[in-house]
Amino acid sequence: MTLANMTPTSVAGTISRPSRRTLTLRYIRRNKGLAIGLAILVVLALFTIIGLLVIDPKKAYPLSAALKQPPSLKYPFGTDFFGRDLLAAMVVGTWQTAFIGVLAGGIGTLVGVVLGFIAAYFGGWIDAGIRTICQILTPIPVLLIQVVVAGSLDKRDVTIVTMAMIVAMLAWMGPTLVIRAQVLTMKERQFVAVAKLSGVSDMGIIFKEILPNLLPFIAAAFVGQVFGAVFASFYLAVLGLGPLREPLLGNIIWAAQSQGAFFNGWWWWPLEPAFAMILILGALALVNMGLDELANPRVRKTE
């Protein structure tokens, strides 16, 4: 850390502080990645929400439209080999992708936060046990284990929710280790010692003293988990292990690939979910990096 990076904050502290809102706005302006990422996510959310309100979701399923139509006025995104209106499929698919991401990411983060707190706060053999399990499971390529789980399920049992569960099942190790490390450093801080001396209970210290200070880390871990979950469910679907009837973005690509879409000249079919995926993953990556910067004062950009 250089001196040049540290002085401006202390200077800004002595002058009268602008309101919280201006500070947030100014921070967003400095942290452009976060701003762009959030903007793309908002646009995608609007696309799905308005789409779900305007379009008949049944059109996203087979035999609801003319077959193999290139993009036109009637079908702005074209239709596929199975007679799905791809505009509707994209709306429903993006919604389902977001659903899987948020559900699986939420579960992974929650399990990670709970285990991380338990490990760091109680220490001893509990900590050693949790840490060892995380370390042993980390090198195992999660996607492949997910392939085994998804492959072992009956095809009828694979739904959007089971997809999220499969993805969440092996994704809690990262957040556990991150939160554990953060709680460990937090535990040694003075405000925790003061709280302990003034007789605050264990739970009080965890929920009132440590947790609020960890929120930026938890937010960053959550976005990272959502990214991972979207990525993993996409890969599973591309391998043909997703809920095959649903217009999940990865499923559309899988279907296009099995019908040889490019060989047959139906270029719009695989290309649209690919672009949607780029937008989703790119936005999440930008937000993730932006939050990392917010959570980690060492790299935080100051005015």
Q: Is 284 in the site for another protein (CB under 8 A)?
A: yes
Stretch that binds another protein, among 13-21, 44-52, 60-68, 272-280 (CB under 8 A): 272-280
Contact 80, 109 (CB under 8 A): no
Q: Binding to another protein by residue 267, rule CB under 8 A?
A: yes
Residue 218 CA to residue 221 CA, distance in Å, equals 5
Shortest CB 140 distance to another protein, Å: 5
Is the separation of the CB atoms in 249 and 234 below 8 Å? yes
Closer to another protein by CB, 93 or 270: give it. Answer: 270
CB-wise, 220 or 253, nearer to another protein? 253
Q: What element of type H or E holds 36?
A: helix 32-54
Q: Give min distance, CB of 148 to another protein, in A.
A: 5
User: Which residue, among 269, 247, 271, 241, has the nearest Cα to 155 in the 3D structure?
Assistant: 241
Q: Measure the CA–CA gap between 128 and 111, rounded to whole angstroms.
A: 17
| 114 makes contact with another protein (CB under 8 A) | no
Q: In this chain, which stretch among 111-119, 187-195, 215-223, 281-289 interacts with another protein, using CB under 8 A?
A: 281-289
Query: Which of residues 181, 271, 300, 302 is near another protein by CB under 8 A?
Result: 271
Measured from the CB atom, the residue of 216 and 240 that comes closer to another protein is 240
How many residues in the shown chain lie near another protein by CB under 8 A? 45
Write down the least CB distance from residue 278 to another protein, Å.
5
Q: What is the CA radius of gyration of the chain?
A: 23
Residues 122-161 interacting with another protein (rule: CB under 8 A):
135-145, 147-149, 151-154
Establish if 62 lies at the interface with another protein (CB under 8 A): no
Residue 205 has what DSSP assignment?
I
Among 108, 247, 270, 290, which residue sits at the site for another protein (rule: CB under 8 A)? 270
Toward another protein, which CB reaches closer, 57 or 240?
240
Q: Confirm or reject binding of residue 184 to another protein (CB under 8 A).
A: no
Pick between residue 103 and residue 256 the one whose CB is nearest to another protein: 256
Tokens linked to 96: 């389902």
CB 217 within 8 Å of CB 182: yes
Contact between 44 and another protein by CB under 8 A: the answer reads no
> Whole-angstrom distance between the N-terminal and C-terminal Cα of the chain?
16
Is 1 among the residues that bind another protein (CB under 8 A)?
yes
Footprint (CB under 8 A) of another protein, residues 216-255: 231, 234-235, 238-241, 253
Positions that interact with another protein (CB under 8 A): 1-2, 135-145, 147-149, 151-154, 231, 234-235, 238-241, 253, 257, 262-263, 265, 267, 270-271, 274, 277-278, 281-286, 299
